[in-house]
Structure 1
């Protein structure tokens, strides 16, 4: 049991229960520990653990694990009791920042300019738009005219026509559509010509503090915990713990026998 506890020591306490809630993960962990133990016993029998360099490496690994434990301790010092009042203050300063953004659901027809000339594409797009303005079923027009391969699965629908990942010209055209059923002018992008129809526009929706409380606390706590660790490291850096030049030179010539004690040439100086 202690070996299992030790194997999980580097895992945050709130994640251990979830990890150990899987019989398969437990079996894999136990198998790995048993194999490692067997291999370690073989290494000891061969007296590999008595190598001074190996012992130094073990000490360094121990120091690294202690460093990680200290970081976890420093992070734990930032408790929810400290964070929650700050989270409430952050929400009150700018509640609009936590609103659900508005969106516009649209359908579009794409006439691409890769398989035809620009003039041909524009003429075809104008014909499709004229039919849309005349009231023809837009989904049928998508099927008939659109070169967008995704039309087979979505009938040309884009749930958020102002969302990320869409080209600026397309988004700008969608923003100008105000009424349900409104048809855009031809919109030229790198993909070709688009005809866009507004299906629905959903306004931004505000959220109460209780709606977003857990998210704000989590985000703020993680940031404060990271800062706590960084501040401690910065305090150590302020002590000016620098290596002596003669030690740096000695190590360099030890691992690079052809090197001299002079500084290596700067990149591009030769």
Structure 2
């Protein structure tokens, strides 16, 4: 593929390869926005300014200063360190068998608990709860309106809606009643430390476990990171023994 020259600044060519290189330094999510002509022209101007300032810096001898030499030494160290790390980690792999074994031994990590979606009305006394239930049952008022009218829970402004919850998120008495309730049927008053509740369950979701295929790529990436971390630590210990380290 032809490496088209886009500009010449201070005698140096600026090519499409140079433009692609600068675009690649941006985060992945920003790169698409840099592909239109307006953005490309701005980047080319940026590259031109780099060339001009670089030329000026050399002209006034900045590349001969001690500050420049120290900066280049630091940059060189960073580059060779990065290359060395990449070389050490290049041969780290994870087998399909390792991924499957991890999944089989840690299925609880990929499970979703049973949940219910429910609404409730909270009042102080059992009598109040029974009266509210009777009003709802005979059609005098909807459950949501009754919640707004009678409930002392802040959820009253949402018609008593508590959203979706799993076991362990509510007090035991409330939780037991909600998970045992029939969908769409108002429970009898349920006593808790907060008062008396009327509960209606709108939906139930059974506990589930994600399939191996659903999580395979995530597990592979996680195991690869773990193996790379282990290999890196091992290599550092070997190098410390080889080259020596004195911590003060």
Q: Which TM-score tier does this pair reach, normalised by the shorter chain?
A: 0.5 to 0.7
Partner of 1:179: 181
TM-score, normalised by the number of residues in structure 1: 0.61
2:99, 2:135 → 1: CA distance? 51
Q: Deviations over 1:156-206 (max 9, x none)?
A: 42332238xxxx773545532322343542444xxxx68462513322113
**Residue among 219, 222, 246 paired with 1:242:** 246
**Residue among 81, 84, 88 paired with 1:67:** 81
Verify: 1:48 aligned to 2:52, yes or no: no
**Residue among 14, 31, 34 paired with 1:23:** 34
Verify: 1:197 aligned to 2:211, yes or no: no
Distance 1:130 1:86, change over 3 A: same
8 Å contact from structure 2 (residues 143, 159) kept in 1: no
Q: Deviations over 1:193-226 (max 9, x none)?
A: 6846251332211333223222221222222223
TM-score, normalised by the number of residues in structure 2: 0.65
Verify: 1:84 aligned to 2:99, yes or no: no
**Residue among 166, 190, 195 paired with 1:162:** 166
Residue 108 of structure 1 and its aligned partner are, at CA, apart by 3.9
Partner of 2:9: none
Distance 1:155 1:58, change over 3 A: farther
Is the deviation greater in 2-11 or in 134-143? 2-11
8 Å contact from structure 1 (residues 173, 184) kept in 2: yes
Partner of 2:129: 129
**What's the RMSD between the two structures over aligned residues?**
3.8
2:127, 2:69 → 1: CA distance? 80
2:214, 2:19 → 1: CA distance? 38
1:238, 1:88 → 2: CA distance? 36
Aligned residue for 1:170, secondary structure, equals coil
Residue 53 of structure 1 and its aligned partner are, at CA, apart by 2.7
Larger relative strand fraction: 2
Residue 73 of structure 1 and its aligned partner are, at CA, apart by 3.8
2:88, 2:132 → 1: CA distance? 63
Aligned residue for 1:77, secondary structure, equals coil
8 Å contact from structure 1 (residues 87, 220) kept in 2: yes
2:232, 2:25 → 1: CA distance? 16
1:172, 1:108 → 2: CA distance? 15
- Structure showing greater Rg: 2
8 Å contact from structure 1 (residues 161, 171) kept in 2: no
